Copies of this chain bind each other. A is one copy, B any other.
Amino acid sequence: MNLPVDTAKLQNEMDTLAGFTQVEQTGRKGERAVTRVVFTDDDMRARAWLKSLYEDAGLAVREDAVGNTFARWIGSEPDLPAVGTGSHTDAIPHAGMYDGTLGVLGGLEAIRAMQRAGVKPRRSIELVMFTSEEPTRFGIGCLGSRLLAGTLDPARADALLDKDELPLRQVREAAGFAGDLTQVKLPADYYSAWAELHIEQGPLLECDGLQIGVVTHIAAPASYRFTIEGFGGHAGALLMPHRRDALCAAAEIILAVEHAALATAAIDTVATVGTVKVHPGAVNSVPSRVDLELDVRDTDPDRRDTVMAQVRKAIADVQERRGVTVREEEVNADAPATSSRAIVASIEKACESLGLSHRRMVSRAYHDSLFVARIAPVAMIFVPCRGGVSHRPDEFATVEAMTDGVRVLAETLRDLAG
């Protein structure tokens, strides 16, 4: 059965969502620069608009204490565990318009396509918009899905600080989410199955000329903060032999991270220093302190540990040689996830019935599904994006690719909901 996806409506809603952004719209057609940080005005306006779409589709909407938003199409046996789908709509600074958003608006369109076709699912189908998949504001990714899966301590979460030193508790309450975070965790039998639709954020489908990626594993991500304390002073008066410049030490650490990732010689190892904060941060002041944030990922958690061991060895050398002190804080170091064979099989069956080319693959980016996997069987559906580019304004997926993904998702959800 070929479920009727409204391609124009999907594209139109993707464009509308891209308009809720803090940055100027300078992209070409189909490309929009988007900055939508959790609980900012733009995020709140996007959430309100999404809820209006859910209500138009006759879905029952609830929000939890961290702002995860659930829109449920109630099945004929509403007491059965539901089938879940969804993703996130927050966006890092100067990102693109497809990351996460396709999983939310595509999930909604999949439900509407089933409704149009007169499908009556046995299990309820629930669409989730997770709070803060991106770590931009609170320094840790997948805030909503971690809490939902019970892998992040609620008290620790509430104490997380944003760049203005505001705790999550205060920020979420100001946004209207005032409940107790301990209530966010879902029971293990809440979902019978989960499938997330997402752009690939890598080049493989495009290179292979394939339409659908069926994700069998999600790589293990870890992130760390390093604080390098040196000795500051006036850039004119503090003489070179007396310096313990925190930024020069940081530069060596940045290069050591790159070196350690390359040294594994495995294509699946990636390590990135993505942020640098220099204190005091004046052209005429020797840096006294530098904060770095490191992201390291691998499909093999042991290899990831090897990378970190090498980074720490380099840091010990920098501390000794430069007379600086480096503090390390682990933000998260998560285990990889493996997809459910049954859901992978359901996705592959959907591809076959729709005549779409497909392959199995690893997700190197991590996703809310990594955490949903702790409480439910999961899999993911990838569609190609141009050049594998993501987290940039020129991130792009064709409407045909998005539509293929929604069709596969709809068939899969229908199959899983029985």
Which residues of A pack against B, CB within 8 Å? 92-95, 134-136, 139, 141, 200-202, 219, 221, 223, 232-241, 245, 247-248, 250-252, 254-255, 258, 261-262, 267, 269-276, 278-288, 293-295, 297, 331, 363-366, 388-392
Report the bound CA distance from A270 to B254 in whole Å: 23
Pick from A93, A233, A235 the residue with the most CB of B within 10 Å: A235
Report the bound CA distance from A294 to B331 in whole Å: 32
Q: Is the CB of B283 within 8 A of A135?
A: yes
Closest to A258 in B: B248
A281: chain B residues at CB < 8 Å are 93, 274-275
Between A and B, 11 residue pairs with Cβ closer than 8 Å are A93-B280, A136-B282, A232-B392, A234-B391, A239-B270, A240-B271, A245-B272, A250-B251, A251-B254, A272-B284, A284-B295
Q: Is the CB of A270 within 8 A of B391?
A: no
Q: Is the CB of A237 within 8 A of B286?
A: no
7 extra A-B contacts, CB within 8 A, seeds A272-B285, A275-B282, A276-B278: A93-B281, A94-B279, A95-B280, A134-B284, A139-B283, A272-B286, A274-B278
Select A255's contact among B139, B238, B241, B248, beta carbons within 8 Å.
B248
A331: chain B residues at CB < 8 Å are 283
Copies in the complex: 2
Asked if A237 meets B282 with Cβ closer than 8 Å, knowing A247-B276, A276-B276, the reply is: no
Asked if A280 meets B94 with Cβ closer than 8 Å, knowing A234-B365, A270-B236, the reply is: yes
Q: Is the CB of A237 within 8 A of B274?
A: no
Q: Is the CB of A233 within 8 A of B388?
A: yes
Q: Which 5 A-B pairs have the closest CB atoms?
A: A251-B251, A236-B365, A235-B272, A202-B237, A283-B293
Report the bound CA distance from A240 to B265 in whole Å: 10
Closest to A279 in B: B94
Closest to A264 in B: B240
Closest Cβ of chain B: how far from A35's Cβ, in Å? 9
Select A236's contact among B240, B258, B273, B366, beta carbons within 8 Å.
B366
Select A245's contact among B258, B388, B390, beta carbons within 8 Å.
B258
Closest to A392 in B: B232
Q: Is the CB of A219 within 8 A of B233?
A: no
Q: Is the CB of A239 within 8 A of B267?
A: yes
Select A286's contact among B136, B245, B274, B366, beta carbons within 8 Å.
B274
Closest Cβ of chain B: how far from A410's Cβ, in Å? 26
A258: chain B residues at CB < 8 Å are 240, 245, 248
Q: Is the CB of B287 within 8 A of A274?
A: yes
Q: Is the CB of A391 within 8 A of B284?
A: yes
Asked if A254 meets B248 with Cβ closer than 8 Å, knowing A235-B297, A239-B267, A276-B278, the reply is: yes
Pick from A240, A297, A365 the residue with the most CB of B within 10 Å: A240
A245: chain B residues at CB < 8 Å are 258, 272
A262: chain B residues at CB < 8 Å are 240
Q: Is the CB of A234 within 8 A of B390?
A: yes
Report the bound CA distance from A174 to B28 in whole Å: 36
Closest to A390 in B: B234
